């Protein structure tokens, strides 16, 4: 089974702090994704990486950056956390190819609260 793990289930940070959210997958997938989930808004894509050191902005990249130094690990960085970044953050991975026919595999999520 594919396993996607996220470094924390719950995280509380203060405004202005730099925050790192880590995601690791064990199935050698090229694609990795970071989403945020908010009630009534569904999942919104923050960043997408299709290979090591390759990244692409999603729909809501402002205030976030990412790092993909190794294939299995995809980090989301909040350079200066703000209260409007309080949310559930979900990481996912998928194999490439078949032009998007593969499903994505999700981690358990990190619920981030910024005070």
**Cβ 27 to other proteins shortest distance, Å:** 13
| Residue number with CB closer to other proteins (58 or 61) | 58
Shortest spacing between CB 39 and other proteins, in angstroms? 8
Contacts of the segment 78-82: beta carbons below 8 A, 24+ positions apart: 78/13, 78/17, 78/18, 78/19, 78/21, 79/18, 80/16, 80/17, 80/18, 81/13, 81/14, 81/15, 81/16, 81/17, 81/18, 81/19, 81/112, 81/114, 82/15, 82/114
Q: Select 15 or 93, whichever has its Cβ closest to other proteins.
A: 93
Q: Smallest distance, Å, CB 57 to other proteins?
A: 11
Q: Where along the sequence are the contacts to other proteins (CB under 8 A)?
A: 4, 9, 31, 33, 35, 40-45, 48, 50, 58, 90, 92, 94, 96, 98-109, 111
> Could you tell me the smallest distance in angstroms from the CB atom of residue 51 to other proteins?
11
Q: Name which of 59 and 79 has its Cβ closer to other proteins.
A: 59
User: Which residue blocks in the chain are alpha helix, DSSP H?
Assistant: none
């Amino acid at each position: 089974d594919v396993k996607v793990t996220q470094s924390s289930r719950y995280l509380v940070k203060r405004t202005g702090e730099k925050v790192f959210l880590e995601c690791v997958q064990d199935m050698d997938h090229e694609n990795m994704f970071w989403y945020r989930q908010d009630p009534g808004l569904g999942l919104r894509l923050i960043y997408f990486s299709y290979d090591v050191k390759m990244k692409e902005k999603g729909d809501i990249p402002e205030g976030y950056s990412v790092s993909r130094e190794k294939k299995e690990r995809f980090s989301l960085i909040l350079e200066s956390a703000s209260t409007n970044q309080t949310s559930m953050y979900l990481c996912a991975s998928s194999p490439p190819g078949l032009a998007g026919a593969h499903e994505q595999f999700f981690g358990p999520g990190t619920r981030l609260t910024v005070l």
